[in-house]
A and B are shown apart, each in its own frame.
Chain A
Amino acid sequence: MNVLLALLVGLLFGAGTWLLLGQRILRQVIGLGLMAHGANLLVLLAGGLRGKSAPLLANPGPWADPLPQALILTAIVIGFGITAFLLALGYRMHALEEDEG
């Protein structure tokens, strides 16, 4: 499972980098998004994947590490906001009139 996830992280980063190096704004935005998701998965991987049950004392162990999940949740929210901003910026490049230099 660890190896599989590590490969997936690599794939996401590779695809993200490739898209980012392209010319079109939309592909670049998607590329940045893929890289962000690669980083998120890596955070999950960093916490280890042994635990299966929710981290409550009432549950029998081994527990899943809750911290990476909290970190990823924050990172996803940030990534969502930034993607929205990037798309708005990309839209603006098309929508705005070409005025003063």
Chain B
Amino acid sequence: MNAAAAPVVIPLLAGLLCAVLQPRRLRWAVSVGAGVASVVASVWLVVLSHAHGVVVLRFGGWPAPYGIVFAADLLGALMAAIGSWVALCTLLALLAEPHPRFDPFFHAGWHLMLAGMNGAFLTGDLFNLYVFFEVLLVASYFLLTLGSTRRRAREAFPYVAINLVASTLFLVGVALLYAAVGSVNMADLSQRISSAPPGLVQPAVLLLAVAFGVKAAVFPLYAWLPHAYVLPPAPVAAYFGGMLTKVGVYALYRLFTTLQPVRGPEPGFVAVAVLTMVFGVLGALAQEEVRRILTFHIVSQIGYMVFGLALGTPEAWAAGIFYVLHNIGAKTALLLVSAAVEAAYGTGALRALSGLGHAHPLLGVCFAIPAMSLAGIPPFSGFWAKVFLVQAGLSLGEASGVAASLGVSLLTLLSMLKIFTNAFWGSAPERERIPALHYAAVGGLAVLSVLWGLNGRWLWDLAGLAGQRLADPALYAQAVLGGP
């Protein structure tokens, strides 16, 4: 089997298997085992694609652009690796504290969502991307509403409806591109899109950008997110908050690098990125509950990732990719801490919590590291992510965007301090137990902030290479289209 398919096939089979296996222990063994296997497979794919460029799999041996292809370039492989890691860590958190509202079927939803995400990261076909988006969204609807009450079911409905409308726009965009270019293979599209009639290509690209923008929660399309992410059990929210929007960000990167490259800073695009940062962080400041604060920060952080994309140079894209990878680790770790607090103390409201740092010093450390990383304080990974982004922005003369991003960093720090002073300082509460496995799950993600902060050089080199390769769509096209 070709390595490019493994990160999709493994969770797909595991999900189906978990749906039919009866014994609880066996189900967990298969589930966690498949999580580990996906991580190994996707890291192996990173190694392969680092060494050989794009890893291509042609289904049924049909040559591109006629058959469906998987084309794992460095960006896709890196995203699949971090996605699998997040899925594994959040699954461990759920193993540590089985949620009462969850029936055994959630394993299937968990793995099908991972399969959908990895498929979206690795596919080389635009329609196939649509299909994998649907796979992961259906799994997310399922996880969101599993075991829910009437009120939660009602509140989940807008999330489903908004995503469906976005998916419909996505499909319309694909249809218009097919009408204009006559292909849905991304490599083929990237080669021929410039000679296609702009009257069809421009609306198609705009529709795709809106569809991906909804999924990525970019300003002004983010309103669904803070509401939806407080609904599900906390470990599910961590899984969603870490990865779901980043699939949309990845799709935006693919659209505006491989298909229709942005060259040089695009003022409107930069403005959208800055507004996303600002509105997200302002929303966070107004919240009084740990998980709500963190979900608004998801929006704010998306702004930074889009800022890197909007600057439109390989260095800025590299900085954006580094930012995405760092942020997924830090953000999921924070949400898992809030999951631990909610499981142990039954609430995430700031006024109901205090002194967690005295009762659980280790939890305080596990919160402080990713929180400081998110705000961009050295020596953690978020500092480097912001340094690279600021460097890229200044070298292109985008001083106002850079200034906004630094201001937002300060506000991020402020709202992290708000959580810390309210929930972690003060008089200690009656101590509840937090399982060691939950610490392992949080630690597995928080440690990324430390590792990439103290020794981020290798990741920066990888992101730089990924950025450079994105800047040369011809390379991608040749790997996919050329040769059997």
Interface residues of A (CB under 8 A from B): 20, 25, 28, 32, 35-36, 38-40, 42-43, 45-48, 67-68, 71, 74-75, 78, 81-82, 85-86, 89-90, 92-94, 96-101
Contact = CB atoms under 8 A, between A and B. Distances in A.
A94 to B, nearest CB: 8
B179 A45 contact: yes
User: What's the dominant secondary structure at chain B's contact region?
Assistant: helix
Contacts of A99: 149
Given A89-B160, A96-B150, A98-B149, A39 B179 contact: no
Given A93-B150, A96-B149, A99-B149, 5 more contacts: A36-B171, A85-B141, A89-B153, A92-B153, A101-B151
Contact of A43 (B148, B156, B178): B178
Given A43-B175, A93-B150, A96-B149, A32 B156 contact: no
23 contacts: A20-B161, A32-B168, A36-B168, A39-B175, A42-B172, A43-B175, A46-B176, A67-B184, A74-B127, A82-B134, A82-B138, A85-B138, A85-B142, A89-B156, A92-B145, A93-B150, A93-B153, A93-B157, A96-B153, A97-B150, A98-B151, A99-B149, A100-B149
A89 B157 contact: yes
Contacts of A78: 131, 134
Nearest to A31: B161
Interface in B176-197: 176, 178-179, 184
B274 to A, nearest CB: 30
Contacts of B178: 43, 46-47, 67-68, 71
Contacts of A46: 175-176, 178-179
Contacts of B127: 71, 74
B2 to A, nearest CB: 22
Nearest to A70: B127
A8 B130 CA distance: 24
Contacts of B130: 75
A36 B321 CA distance: 33
Interface in B123-175: 127, 130-131, 134, 138, 141-142, 145, 148-151, 153-154, 156-157, 160-161, 164-165, 168, 171-172, 174-175
Interface residues of B, number: 29
Residue with the greatest number of chain A CB neighbours at <10 A, chosen from B157, B165, B174, B175:
B175
A47 B174 CA distance: 11
B133 to A, nearest CB: 10
B51 to A, nearest CB: 34
B154 A93 contact: yes
Contacts of B131: 74, 78
A35 B154 contact: no
A72 to B, nearest CB: 9
A77 B17 CA distance: 23
Contact of A42 (B145, B160, B175): B175
Contacts of A94: 150
Nearest to A16: B168
The 8 closest A-B pairs by CB, nearest first: A46-B179, A96-B150, A46-B175, A43-B175, A39-B171, A42-B175, A46-B178, A92-B153
Given A74-B131, A92-B153, A93-B150, A45 B164 contact: no
B172 A32 contact: no
B164 A32 contact: yes
Nearest to A98: B150
A35 B151 CA distance: 27
Contacts of A81: 138
Interface string B244-269: 00000000000000000000000000
A32 B138 contact: no
Contacts of B171: 36, 39-40, 42-43, 75
A90 B179 CA distance: 36
A32 B176 CA distance: 20
Contacts of A100: 149
A25 B161 CA distance: 10
A83 B150 CA distance: 19
Contacts of B160: 85-86, 89
Contacts of B154: 93
Nearest to A83: B164
A81 B176 CA distance: 24
Contact of B174 (A25, A36, A43): A43
A81 B135 CA distance: 11
A32 B165 CA distance: 7
A25 B179 CA distance: 34
A85 B160 CA distance: 10
Interface string B5-38: 0000000000000000000000000000000000
A48 to B, nearest CB: 8
Given A89-B156, A89-B157, A97-B150, A20 B179 contact: no
Residue with the greatest number of chain A CB neighbours at <10 A, chosen from B130, B168, B178:
B168
Contacts of A28: 157, 161
Contacts of A45: 175, 179
B67 to A, nearest CB: 12
A45 B176 CA distance: 9
A86 B131 CA distance: 18
B168 A35 contact: yes
A21 to B, nearest CB: 11
Nearest to B150: A96
